[in-house]
Structure 1
Amino acid sequence: MIGCSRCDRRAVIFQRHSNRHLCKRHFIEDFERRIKLAVRKFKMIEKNDRIAIALSGGKDSVTLTYTLAKLYEKRRDLELFAITIDEGISNYRPPTVEIARKVAEQLGIEHVVVSFEENFGMTLDEMVKRGDKKPCTYCGVFRKYLLNRTAREMGATKLATGHNLDDETQTILLNFLNADMERMARLVPQRVQEGLIMRIKPFRYIYEKEVVVYGLLHNLPMDFEECPYSYFPVRASVRDFLYEFENKYPGRKFSVMNSFEKLIPCLREMYPQIDLNRCERCGEPTPKKVCQACKLLEELG
């Protein structure tokens, strides 16, 4: 038996970045401490917030929903509710929608399911057959569209997503490799925009592996199925590179995140947040005259 580095209990995880073995109690304390650190540092949760949680039913969103409910359930000035987007992916989405329903019910959180078919007249499966764009293009645009619109209509002040340290460092490095500094600047919004709900990412300092361990320790439903449409050749290469680099030099993902955060003031000065317009067709916020969702719907006929 390997003991905890902080007490005599059995360790449940080895943190390579800290070179510590941690028992269940001390791992949970450390996990939740880093969430609170991110929340305080970026003022993710403030007084009288009504927070929408993007609950897909996958491991990250389920763990995020549970953790936010646990950490902030005693805050009477806060409200939490969950939004699940049903894209309409046969044999993949139905089980996770059911997981989302059960989790929200068990936590006593208001929950709404919003579907592509009801809002756009077709499922993602049908969009892929009809259109010529990659599945992730349709999914990404329409998911963001529905999440923001639903959160706003339900009175949310923040929209929490389950993006973890692995996700964020991949995105940072991808933007850097693509020389897309403007997109990188948008990773941390500068101010609230009318019609656009501010996104927050409480897991930005949490490794994906730690999310899984925390969920398993709390007996949360863990769905590990890969979306049948997920195919990111460039992102996969970046993911594998970061994995190997982290494995050889533990803590490098924190280094990437720290470097990015030091650049935030410069990025904000170089790329100030532009004012958004209202889409001429649907009224949703967009930097152009017509939003990307409406353009894609037009292409799909």
Structure 2
Amino acid sequence: MRRCDKCNSDAIIYQRYSGMHLCESHFKEDLRRKIKKTIRKHRMIKSGDKIAVALSGGKDSFLLLKILHEIIAVRPDVELIVISVDEGIEGYRDEILSRALRFADEMGIQSRIGKFKDEFGVTMDEIVRQDFPEAPCSFCGVFRRAILNKLAKENGATKVATGHNLDDEAQSILMNYLKGDIDRLARLMPERSVDGLIPRIKPLREIPEREITLFGILEGFPTSVRKCPYADDAFRSDMREVLNILEDDHPGISYSLMRGFDKIRELLPASAVKIEQCETCGEPSSGRACKVCEFRGRVAVYGKD
């Protein structure tokens, strides 16, 4: 058994990218330090903020809520609420959300839930049964973002905090590089200001997924290992596999990819983010009609057939 490089206790993890063996105490300390450093570096939390934490019930969002609660508990000038989305996936989302909301309630944090059925008149289960040519994730992603933004605005939030981790960010950056999609690269900018959209912050963007998983196990988070039954993003899966292989051979490659992007993101032209106003709903859009209205119209039309 290897010893912790910072004390004489048994190590529970070896960080190949840092070359450090860490015990449970120093591992948790290191993880908290990196999250707080990310928050300070990008000035994610300011006096007077009301942070809406997007709680899905996964390990990432549990960690996010716990750490933000620890930080904000000692700051009377910042408020925290939880917002969640019920997509309507029977036997999956209802069970996970129940655990998540209990977790928030135990911390004394108020929760708000938005449902696909209430907002769009259709559940994710019903959308999938329509057999649209797009992958279910296309509809889900668009509708989820819309509901989170609406909940945040309705509850006076100034920021929406999401649980995107280092792996998520590196995959997204590589995907958009390979697609040559400058617009989507620009959308990855932290706390991008767009009228009508509550700014997003990602405090976990420098934490590897495996470390979040380990932290969750050590803390006994009531998460589920079940994968969404409709998850189907072949390109992202390919990027995950590629980065995992590269990370094995070149530890720290994900950090390098993200930090390289951080250096060039300020150079991206402002015109790369083309935001208009949807002619139907008035919400921000990349064209004359937003994706929410497009998808809403399609599922509504089907429901009339």
- TM-score, normalization by structure 2: 0.94
Gap runs ≥5 in structure 2: none
5 Å-filtered alignment, 1:235-246, equals: 235-246=236-247
The residue number in structure 2 matching 1:285 is: 284
Query: What whole-Å deviation, never above 9, does each CA across 1:99-141 have from its counterpart, x for those lacking one?
Result: 1111111111110111101111110110122251320111000
Is the contact made by 2:171 and 2:243 (CA closer than 8 Å) also made in structure 1? Answer: yes
Q: Aligned to 1:52, what secondary structure does the other structure show?
A: strand
Q: Is residue 229 of structure 1 aligned with residue 238 of structure 2?
A: no
Is the contact made by 2:11 and 2:22 (CA closer than 8 Å) also made in structure 1? Answer: yes
Is the contact made by 1:4 and 1:10 (CA closer than 8 Å) also made in structure 2? Answer: yes
Deviation for aligned residue 1:165: 0.2
Deviation for aligned residue 1:219: 1.9
Is the contact made by 1:174 and 1:238 (CA closer than 8 Å) also made in structure 2? Answer: yes
Is the contact made by 2:85 and 2:115 (CA closer than 8 Å) also made in structure 1? Answer: yes
Is the contact made by 2:197 and 2:284 (CA closer than 8 Å) also made in structure 1? Answer: yes
Q: Which amino acid aligns with 2:54?
A: A
Deviation for aligned residue 1:173: 0.3
Query: What whole-Å deviation, never above 9, does each CA across 1:215-234 have from its counterpart, x for those lacking one?
Result: 22222212211111111221
The residue number in structure 1 matching 2:102 is: 102
Q: CA–CA distance in 2 between the matches of 1:263 and 1:241?
A: 23
Q: Is residue 11 of structure 1 aligned with residue 11 of structure 2?
A: yes
Q: Which amino acid aligns with 1:249?
A: H
Q: Is residue 45 of structure 1 aligned with residue 45 of structure 2?
A: yes
Q: Which amino acid aligns with 2:48?
A: N
Deviation for aligned residue 1:191: 4.5
Worse-superposed segment, 209-218 or 167-176 = 209-218
The residue number in structure 2 matching 1:192 is: 193
Q: CA–CA distance in 2 between the matches of 1:271 and 1:59?
A: 36
The residue number in structure 2 matching 1:83 is: 83
The residue number in structure 1 matching 2:293 is: 294
5 Å-filtered alignment, 1:91-170, equals: 91-130=91-130, 132=132, 133-170=134-171
Query: What whole-Å deviation, never above 9, does each CA across 1:132-163 have from its counterpart, x for those lacking one?
Result: 13201110000000000110111000000000
Q: Aligned to 2:12, what secondary structure does the other structure show?
A: strand
Q: CA–CA distance in 2 between the matches of 1:273 and 1:293?
A: 18
Is the contact made by 1:116 and 1:123 (CA closer than 8 Å) also made in structure 2? Answer: yes
Q: CA–CA distance in 1 between the matches of 2:11 and 2:190?
A: 38
The residue number in structure 2 matching 1:32 is: 32
The residue number in structure 1 matching 2:259 is: 258
Quick one: structure 1 residues 273 and 43, their matched pair in 2 at CA, closer, same or farther if it must change by over 3 Å? farther
Quick one: structure 1 residues 189 and 3, their matched pair in 2 at CA, closer, same or farther if it must change by over 3 Å? closer
Gap runs ≥5 in structure 1: none
Q: CA–CA distance in 2 between the matches of 1:241 and 1:39?
A: 28
| Cα-Cα RMSD | 1.5
Q: Which amino acid aligns with 1:3?
A: R
The residue number in structure 1 matching 2:206 is: 205
Is the contact made by 1:64 and 1:162 (CA closer than 8 Å) also made in structure 2? Answer: yes
Quick one: structure 1 residues 183 and 40, their matched pair in 2 at CA, closer, same or farther if it must change by over 3 Å? same
Deviation for aligned residue 1:270: 5.9
Deviation for aligned residue 1:272: 5.0
Is the contact made by 1:85 and 1:113 (CA closer than 8 Å) also made in structure 2? Answer: yes
Q: CA–CA distance in 2 between the matches of 1:244 and 1:19?
A: 18
Q: CA–CA distance in 1 between the matches of 2:45 and 2:239?
A: 31
Q: Is residue 68 of structure 1 aligned with residue 68 of structure 2?
A: yes
Is the contact made by 1:149 and 1:284 (CA closer than 8 Å) also made in structure 2? Answer: no
Q: Which amino acid aligns with 2:186?
A: A
Sequence identity (%) = 43
Is the contact made by 2:159 and 2:199 (CA closer than 8 Å) also made in structure 1? Answer: yes
Q: Aligned to 1:11, what secondary structure does the other structure show?
A: coil
Query: What whole-Å deviation, never above 9, does each CA across 1:55-92 have from its counterpart, x for those lacking one?
Result: 01111111111111112211111111111100011221
Q: CA–CA distance in 2 between the matches of 1:101 and 1:218?
A: 17
- TM-score, normalization by structure 1: 0.95
